[in-house]
Amino acid sequence: MGEIFSSFQGEGPLLGRRQVFVRTAGCNLACAYCDSAKFRREVTFCDVIAPGLRRRAENPVSLAWTMEEVRALWGRGTHSVSITGGEPLCQPEFVEALARACSAEGMPVYLETNGFSHRRFSKMIPWIDIAAVDIKLPSAFSRGGSEELVENELASIEAASRRGVFTIAKVVVLASTPRAEIEGLVPRLAGLDAVVVLQPASGDGRPSPEKLTELFEAAAEVLSGVVVIPQAHKMMGIL
């Protein structure tokens, strides 16, 4: 486990909602725009962070300890528990148990994942209320992404939407993102009950307003509800 903290959702249609975040450590990908690179690998300690508070425990932490910390951070106006990463599907047994435990206590669960394993994702669906699945375009990788990865992501989005989970399909776009990638992707999302978000990358890879408009228009030719939402937590200077 990487860290547990209370903050505000900084991405997607739930922007601004207060959540307790549980960040797993370890990821199977190396995206060019990764904003949590230090959690691509396992870490020695799990930090608990809140205003005026910072404590840590040595990994591996237990489910009971994690739930105790989640309860302690759950405050007035908290919307849900966000399980993020790293990549949560790299720790499927622990994440499924955590989602079950949160659900049993009436805490809605928001899972943020790259969806690389439809099989692992599907096992968690009964305890997930909101699923934000990243679609990793081939241009997001220095050596190119894989068709198998995209197929698993799309299958995860479809499975969540069919089961009534509030589903977010997030596509990070860069200055280098080819229009053709968006044109090839959006027909696969048509007809699914999912909010499709184009998220402009931050930093050096940020697309220009002209590029962002071009990619949006490519998506809007097929999808009526696509939206552009940047990473607001970086603007606010919060976790």
- CA-nearest of 4, 32, 13 to 166 is 13
Has 33 been labeled as part of a binding site? Answer: yes
Within 13 Å, how many C-alpha atoms sit on residue 160's CB side? 31
- Residue 142 has a pLDDT of 64
Distance CA 128, CA 102 (A): 10
134 is in an annotated binding site: no
DSSP state at residue 85: S
Q: Is 231 annotated as a binding residue?
A: no
- Long-range own/partner contacts, residues 179-186 (CB < 8 A, 24 or more apart): 179/214, 179/215, 179/218, 181/137, 181/138, 181/139, 182/215, 182/218, 182/219, 183/218, 183/221, 185/135, 185/137, 185/150, 186/218, 186/219, 186/221, 186/222, 186/223, 186/226
90 has binding-site annotation? no
Residue 102 known to bind ligand: no
Q: What's the average pLDDT block by block, 10 residues per block, for the chain (239 residues)?
A: 96 97 95 88 95 92 98 97 97 98 98 97 98 93 77 98 98 96 97 96 92 98 96 77
33: three-class secondary structure by DSSP: coil
Torsion angle of C-alpha atoms 133, 139, 140, 144, degrees rounded to 10: 100
What's residue 145's pLDDT? 65
Q: What amino acid is encoded at 13 in this protein?
A: P
Q: According to the annotation, is 191 in a ligand binding site?
A: no
Burial string for 213-228 (b: 16+ CB within 10 Å, else e) reads: eebbebbbebbeebee
Q: Is 36 annotated as a binding residue?
A: yes
Q: Confirm or deny that 46 is annotated as ligand binding.
A: no
81 touches 102 (CB < 8 A): yes
Is 12 annotated in a binding site? The answer is no
| CA pseudo-torsion sign 126, 11, 59, 119 | positive
Phi, psi of 191 (to 5 degrees): 90, -10
82 is in an annotated binding site: no
In the DSSP assignment, the letter for residue 207 is P
The sign of the dihedral angle between the CA atoms of 143, 195, 122, 155 is negative
205 annotated ligand-binding residue:
no
Instruction: List the alpha helices (DSSP H) in the chain.
Output: 63-73, 92-104, 118-124, 147-162, 179-189, 209-220, 232-236
Domains of the chain, CATH where assigned: 3-236 (3.20.20.70)
